């Protein structure tokens, strides 16, 4: 429930910028409603949906306190396991997971920058 506002804001911003006449034009050209959604609507709103999913993952991954309250004694999520590893013992697994998370973040940022540059190159000519 903590992530819902972030997802709603990013997806609704994506939907607000969507022009409904594009979908209607696809349907006039003979596409079914499903085909118009898949080929016209979804590619336009996909960045907002991906951003919302990324926000939800990052926020849910960071919320250790809520995980402590919601999980039972038997269930251990990765953030809880990392928290226990930091508090109870010095474990190299925590350093390895942290390194992987930093590398994943760097790769995602580079990927987003590449996509942004390609989009700008297509727009400018």
Quick: pLDDT tens for 12-51: 888 888 888 888 899 899 989 999 999 988 888 888 888 8
Helix spans in the chain (H): 4-16, 20-28, 33-36, 42-62, 64-70, 78-88, 92-124
Mark whether 50 and 89 lie in a shared domain.
no
Structure tokens that stand for 56 in this block: 């939800």
According to the model, what pLDDT value does residue 35 have? 92
Contacts of 62 (CB under 8 A, 6+ apart): 79
* CB atoms closer than 10 angstroms to residue 52: 21
Q: How confident is the model at residue 107 (pLDDT cuts 50, 70, 90)?
A: very high
Q: What pTM, to 2 d.p., does this model score?
A: 0.59
Residue 77 burial (10 A CB sphere; 0-12, 13-18, 19+): middle
**Domain-ending residue, one of 62, 84, 99:** 62
Mean pLDDT confidence for 64-84 = 75
Distance CA 56, CA 120 (A): 27
Mark whether 79 and 117 lie in a shared domain.
yes
* CB atoms closer than 10 angstroms to residue 50: 14
- Name the domain count of the chain: 2
Mark whether 57 and 95 lie in a shared domain.
no
Tally the C-alpha atoms within 13 A of residue 32's C-alpha that lie toward its C-beta: 2
Asked whether residue 103 carries a pLDDT value surpassing 90, the answer given is yes
User: Is residue 27 a part of any domain in this protein?
Assistant: yes
Distance CA 62, CA 58 (A): 6
According to the model, what pLDDT value does residue 34 have? 92
Mark whether 23 and 55 lie in a shared domain.
yes
User: Is residue 29 a part of any domain in this protein?
Assistant: yes
Mark whether 58 and 110 lie in a shared domain.
no
Mark whether 86 and 51 lie in a shared domain.
no
- The mean predicted confidence, pLDDT, of the chain is 83
Mark whether 26 and 81 lie in a shared domain.
no
Give the domain range for residue 100: 74-125
């Amino acid at each position: 429930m903590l992530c819902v506002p972030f997802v709603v804001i990013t997806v609704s911003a994506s939907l607000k910028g969507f022009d409904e006449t594009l979908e209607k034009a696809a349907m006039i050209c003979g596409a079914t409603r499903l085909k118009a959604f898949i080929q016209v609507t979804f590619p336009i709103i996909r960045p907002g949906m991906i951003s919302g999913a990324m926000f939800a993952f990052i926020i849910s991954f960071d919320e250790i306190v809520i995980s402590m309250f919601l999980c039972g004694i038997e269930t251990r999520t990765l953030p809880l396991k990392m928290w226990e590893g930091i508090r109870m013992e010095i474990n190299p697994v925590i350093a390895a997971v942290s390194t992987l998370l930093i590398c994943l973040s760097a790769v995602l940022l580079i990927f987003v920058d590449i996509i942004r540059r390609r989009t700008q190159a297509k727009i400018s000519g």
